[in-house]
Amino acid sequence: MRVLYLSRWVPSPRAGHGGAESTFALLAALASRHEVSLLCYADRDELALAVDLETQGVAVQTLAYDRAPGRRDLRAAAAGALRALGGMPFFAAKYQRRGFRRALQHRVAQFRPQVLHAESSALAPFLDAHGGALRVLTLGDVRTRLAEARVAPGLHRPFRQLAADRWRRFERRAVARADAVITFTPEDAACVSAWGGAPAPQVIPAPVPLPAASPGGGRDSNLLVFAASFDDAPNLEALDALLRQVLPPLLASHPAASLVVAGRRLPASWAQRIAATPGAHYAGFVDDVDALLAAACVFVAPLRAGSGLKIKVGRALACGTPVVTTGIGAEGIALGPDDGLFVEDDPARMAERCAQLLAAPETAGALGERARTGVAARLSGEVVAEALSAIYATARPVQ
C-alpha cells in the first residue's frame, strides 16, 4: 500500500516533543508494512532530523516553516492572518501555505498514493488534493473541546465563545473532507460524533514511544517528575496547580520529596518561580528524558484541560514509572491503578496519592513494571500500525 502522510513537523525521537516522537513511532511501524512517503513542514533546526525516518525506509520531503516568531516569513504570516480574519482559527490558518499545496500536488502525481493521511485538522484542507486516494484524517487534539473548556463567565467569555465556535465550524468541515476519521480517545470521538454527519470517528490511540531498553540506574524513592513542552497552555496550567496545590501538602506529609520539572520553552519567569519554590527544581530540556522518568518514583501531571492522548503520561508509564494524573490526563490510556495509573482530580488527594507511592517504593516499582508491560501491549507503534492498516485496506485502487 502506498501511503502519503502529511505532518506539521519532522517526526523524530530527537524532536523534543511528544507529538513528533509519537508520529515517528507510528511511521516507522507503518514503513514495515507499507510504502510510506512523508510531506511535512520543517523549521531550519528540524531539517537534520529527517534522516531518522529515512533510515526507517520513509521517503521524506520537507517544506520550510520558521516556527520562531522573529524568523517567520512575513508574507506567509500575513496570509495566515487574512485567513484567520475570514473565520479560520489562526492555529490552522498559519499552515495553509501555497508552497505546501504545490509540493503535495506534485508528490501525489509522482507517488500516486492509495492513502493520503493528514495528522491534524490544520492539514485537512489539503486532503482535497487526494488524486483518488483514501482520505484519512487524525484528530489527535480535538481543539473544539479545549476551546469550549475555556468558555467561562467573565469579561473574556464572548471572545472565547467566538474562538470555540470557530473551531467547531472548522473541525466539522475538516471531518467532512475525509473518508475515515481517527481520534485518540473515546472522549474526543464523542465530541466529534455529536456534530453529526459522516464519517463516524474511529478510536485508535496514539502510539507511545517505547524505550529501546529498560533505562539503567536505580530509582530515587523521593523523586517526582513533571516533563512537558511548555509552549502548550494546559501544561503551564498543570505546572501552576502542581506548585501551588499539590507540592505544598505533599511536602507537609513527606518532607524529603523532591520535584524535578523538565521540558522546553518554559518562560524565564516560570523558571524563577520554580527556583523560589521549596522542593522544586527546573532541569530545562533533558536529552535523555527516558532516563529521567525511569529514575523517578512518581510522574505527576495535574492536567485540567486538553484533548487527545497525553504522550507524556504514556511515556512515563512505558519507562516503568507510576503516574498520578487527572481524568483528562488519563484519557485514552486503558490502564488503571493496578497498572500504575492513578486518577485523582482533587489536588489534596493527588498529593496524598503521591505521598503513598513515595513511602512505598517497592510497591511503586512493581506497579511500574506492570505499567511498562501494559503500554507495550496496547500503545506500541506496531499495535497502532496494525489498526490503521485495517482502515488503509479499504482504499480503492489508484489508476
Looking at the fold, whether 20 and 111 belong to one and the same domain comes out as yes
Does the residue 48 lie in any domain?
Answer: yes
- Domain holding 196, by residue range, is 2-207+380-392
Looking at the fold, whether 24 and 169 belong to one and the same domain comes out as yes
Q: How many domains does the chain have?
A: 2
Looking at the fold, whether 246 and 163 belong to one and the same domain comes out as no
Does the residue 368 lie in any domain?
Answer: yes
Does the residue 397 lie in any domain?
Answer: no
Looking at the fold, whether 373 and 387 belong to one and the same domain comes out as no
Does the residue 217 lie in any domain?
Answer: no
Looking at the fold, whether 149 and 229 belong to one and the same domain comes out as no
Q: How far apart are CA 353 and CA 224, in angstroms?
A: 12
Grid cell in block for residue 339: 497498572
Looking at the fold, whether 373 and 384 belong to one and the same domain comes out as no
Looking at the fold, whether 46 and 133 belong to one and the same domain comes out as yes
Grid cell in block for residue 1: 500500500
Looking at the fold, whether 258 and 339 belong to one and the same domain comes out as yes
Does the residue 386 lie in any domain?
Answer: yes
DSSP string, 14-72: TSSSHHHHHHHHHHHHHHTTSEEEEEEEE-TTTGGGHHHHHTTT-EEEEEE---STTTS
Cα–Cα distances in angstroms (integers) from residue 340 to residues 126, 129, 172, 354, in the given order:
41, 44, 36, 12
Does the residue 218 lie in any domain?
Answer: no
Does the residue 213 lie in any domain?
Answer: no
Looking at the fold, whether 368 and 287 belong to one and the same domain comes out as yes
DSSP count for the chain of H helices, then E strands:
16, 13
Looking at the fold, whether 193 and 228 belong to one and the same domain comes out as no
pLDDT in tens, 109-136: 999 999 999 999 999 999 999 999 999 9
Does the residue 215 lie in any domain?
Answer: no
Mean pLDDT, 10 residues at a time, over the chain (399 residues)? 97 91 97 98 94 97 83 52 69 95 97 97 96 95 90 85 94 96 96 90 95 72 95 93 98 97 95 97 94 96 90 95 97 95 98 97 94 95 97 84
Q: How far apart are CA 375 and CA 207, in angstroms?
A: 9
Specify the pTM. Answer: 0.91
pLDDT in tens, 239-280: 999 999 999 999 999 999 999 999 989 999 999 999 999 999
Looking at the fold, whether 192 and 271 belong to one and the same domain comes out as no
Looking at the fold, whether 308 and 188 belong to one and the same domain comes out as no
- The CATH number that applies at residue 309 is 3.40.50.2000
